[in-house]
């Protein structure tokens, strides 16, 4: 009898968790949509004080050159460089970044490319 009650109780808990209809309230605020994107471009400016860089890149949608300002934070990983301090204007970098409607683009990974910048 005791085992039956435990089994029924466990089944009820499992059913509540599996259907995600527990006693917690649903948030009323709209959930923020985060996009993960990447860009390959030339560094046109570095702002070491504010930990950000501006890249010049080709926008395939408009078929024109575009510029994007990307922030660097404590979670940004670097390849072929140790930090933002190792980069210089004219370097070509590939950047994986995230952006949302409420935040600026933030680099997750910055890879210094080995080929020369465009002249």
Q: Kindly list the domain boundaries of the chain, sorted by start residue.
A: 34-112
What pTM does this model have? 0.68
Q: Which fold has domain 34-112?
A: OB fold (Dihydrolipoamide Acetyltransferase, E2P) (2.40.50)
Q: What does the pLDDT look like over 18-60, one tens digit per residue?
A: 444 433 334 444 567 888 999 999 999 999 999 999 999 988 8
DSSP assignment of 7-51 equals HHHHHHHHHHHHHT-SSPPPP-SPPPPEEEEEEEEEEEEEETTTT
Q: What is the mean pLDDT of the chain?
A: 79
């Amino acid at each position: 009898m005791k085992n039956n009650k435990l089994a029924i109780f466990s089944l009820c808990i499992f059913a509540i968790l599996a259907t995600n209809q527990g006693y917690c309230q649903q948030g009323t605020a709209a959930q923020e949509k985060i996009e993960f994107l990447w860009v390959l471009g030339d560094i046109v400016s570095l702002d070491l004080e504010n930990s950000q860089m501006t890249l010049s890149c080709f926008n395939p949608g408009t078929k024109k050159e575009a510029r994007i300002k990307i922030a660097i934070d404590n979670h940004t990983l670097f390849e072929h460089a140790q930090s933002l301090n190792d980069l210089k204007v004219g370097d070509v970098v590939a950047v994986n970044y995230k952006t949302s409607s409420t935040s600026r683009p933030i680099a997750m990974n910055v890879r210094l490319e080995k080929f020369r910048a465009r002249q």
